[in-house]
Amino acid sequence: MNPIVVEFQDVTKVFGNSKANDQLSFKIKRNSIHALVGENGAGKSTAMKILFGLVSADSGKILIDGKPERIHSTLRARALGLGMVHQHFVLATEHSALENVLFSETVSPFQILNRTQKKIEYQKLAEQYGFQIPWDKSVAELSVGEQQRVEILKVLQQKARLLILDEPTAVLTPQEVLGFFKNLQELKNQGCTIVLITHKLKEVLAICDTVTVIRQGHAVQTLAVADTNQDQLAEMMVGRRIQWSRRELNPGTSAPKQNEPILKIPAHQPLAFQVNAGEVVGVAGVEGNGQTELIEAILNIKKAQASKIHMGVFPEDRLRVGSVPKASVMENFILGFDSDPAFCNHGWLRWNEVKKSTVESLQKYDVRPVSPELPFEQFSGGNQQKIIVARELCRNPEFILAAQPTRGVDVGAVEFIHEELLRAQERGAGILLISFDLDELLKLSARILVLFNKKFVLELDRENFNELELGRAMGSGART
């Protein structure tokens, strides 16, 4: 058998006047876990969409098992044994989780699917991966993490021999990631090949065998993970040495003004807490333990007292609730701010001003391409996230609700967003940071609250941060 499952040969794809893939060539070995890394907009998703038949390449060849293949549709891709988990979920939102997985079954149109039996089957698979899935809820009601699990299960169920995973771990909790990776190893041992796109270089080093670095649509190098390290990978991704910021981070230990709560949910309510001016409060917790309720509660406050404090909100689900995907970036950039006198003059919008301010923000946040008129959905996933962060932060809000603020952005941008958040905090903003990434919480927060079973069960100050204790509280709600 050919040891190379997939080979890209000079694949080029041009969108408008930018090359998403530029003579991209690399090989994926059979029976390995192969990572694709690169900056936001480097062309990773595009390459995988070409492989999966969702996008057609302008030129170049793709070889499967050594044979050139024209993959025009996802049906063809699936017939070749490919399965793909998409960065932007492809789920029928009005249907239940169970139905969404059922949709992905390839059976004859006349075969009857036994729901009960299938549900048991899927449940077994989910348990094996340590995923909890509310089967009967409609996808629209699921949190992003739950949606991610459905999206993954949909593909696992197909028993593909080549799995393409486009940022599957962006919204999973660390425990879930561990369980998931253990199972990927297991799949590999059973003969599967796995392509993993991720921005978390730690993950690459932990479970991948080989890694291809993509820069501006071109494969810089493919190397064995054993022969490399984080710094080298990061350097190859951006094409120059990077200076990790060594700025002393000081998240709110500058004596937050205790009696100046910026936002407060009073004690008699189930999720009582308070965020003071100039303080970053982190919320840790396994997903589904009250995060959705917490965000909901804060949004209600926002609605009720719209004018009193200026709030910036990063939604967890940027495509569904945070943006209008088909509208231009410019239009998305003033979503929620269209009454700002800088942009609106007696009911008429000043598009020139909007454009100028959008371009400034795109440049500041290094969003590429800097095209304010391009539809939002045509930006790469990480760039979309940066646009939303830019929109919410550039108006100096007094309170910031940051839910997974660095979802899907590359290493450089993570640093940048963290710094912007801390700059806002220094300015006196109160920040509530909800994240599954414990490192992020430990790095930024002055205080961490742990959510368990829709209640805050633990509160730790920065001096007393203790990963073990946090982990225990997240897992069982136990205090020590």
Partner 1 sequence: MRKTFFGFLFGLFFAIGLTFLAGENPWNVFLILAHSAFGSRYDFGQTLFYATPLIFCGLSVAWAFRVGLFNIGAEGQLTLGCLAAAWFGGVPTEWHRGSALAVGMICPLLAGGAWGFVAGWMKARRLAHEVIVTMMLNFVAAALASYVVLNLIPNPATQNPESIPLPPQFLFKHQDPIAQVFPESSVSFALVLAILLAIGSWFVFHKSQLGYRIKMVGMNATAAARAGISVEKTQMIAMTIAGALAGAVAWAEVLGSSGQFRLGFSPDYGFLGIAVALMAQNNPLGILLSGLLLGALHKGAGDLDMETAHITRDFSKVLQAFIVLSVASPGLWSLLRRKFKRHA
Ligand X SMILES: Nc1ncnc2c1ncn2[C@@H]1O[C@H](COP(=O)(O)OP(=O)(O)OP(=O)(O)O)[C@@H](O)[C@H]1O
Task: Using CB under 6 A, list all residues that contact ligand X.
Answer: 15-16, 18, 20, 38, 40-46, 87, 368-369, 378-383, 408
Stretch that binds partner 1, among 265-273, 319-327, 379-387, 460-468 (CB under 8 A): 319-327
Q: What angle do CA 412, 418, 424 make, to 5 degrees?
A: 140
Burial 210-234 (b: 16+ CB within 10 A, else e): bbbbbbbbbbbebeebeebeeeebb
Q: At its nearest, how many Å lie between Mg ion and the CB of residue 168?
A: 12
User: Is 125 a binder of partner 1 (CB under 8 A)?
Assistant: no
Among ligand X, Mg ion, partner 1, none, the one that 90 touches (CB under a kind-dependent 5 to 8 A) is: none
Alpha carbon distance 475, 285 (integer Å):
8
Token pair listed for 186:
């297991």
User: Is 306 a binder of partner 1 (CB under 8 A)?
Assistant: yes
Q: At its nearest, how many Å lie between partner 1 and the CB of residue 319?
A: 9
DSSP string, 34-84: EEEE-STTSSHHHHHHHHTTSS--SEEEEEETTEE----SHHHHHHTTEEE
Nearer to ligand X, 47 or 207 (CB): 47
Alpha carbon distance 367, 239 (integer Å):
17
Strands 279-284 and 4-15: unpaired
Choose which of 263, 334, 362, 400 interacts with partner 1 (CB under 8 A).
334
Choose which of 76, 320, 455, 462 interacts with partner 1 (CB under 8 A).
320
Binding mask 347-376 for partner 1 (x = CB under 8 A): xxx-x-------------------------
User: Is 45 a binder of Mg ion (CB under 5 A)?
Assistant: yes
Cis-peptide into 251, omega within 30 deg: no
Phi (first) and psi of residue 80, to 5 degrees: -80, 0
Q: At its nearest, how many Å lie between partner 1 and the CB of residue 322?
A: 6
User: Is 339 a binder of partner 1 (CB under 8 A)?
Assistant: yes
> Which value, to the nearest 10 degrees, does the dihedral of the CA atoms of residues 20, 23, 29, 31 take?
20
Choose which of 53, 168, 252, 381 interacts with Mg ion (CB under 5 A).
381
Among partner 1, Mg ion, ligand X, none, the one that 242 touches (CB under a kind-dependent 5 to 8 A) is: none
Q: At its nearest, how many Å lie between ligand X and the CB of residue 167?
A: 7
Q: Please name which of 141, 145, 121, 120 lies closest in space to residue 132, comparing C-alpha atoms.
A: 145
Contact 139, 98 (CB under 8 A): no
Residues that bind partner 1 (CB under 8 A): 92-94, 299, 303, 306, 313, 315, 320-327, 331, 334-336, 338-339, 344, 347-349, 351
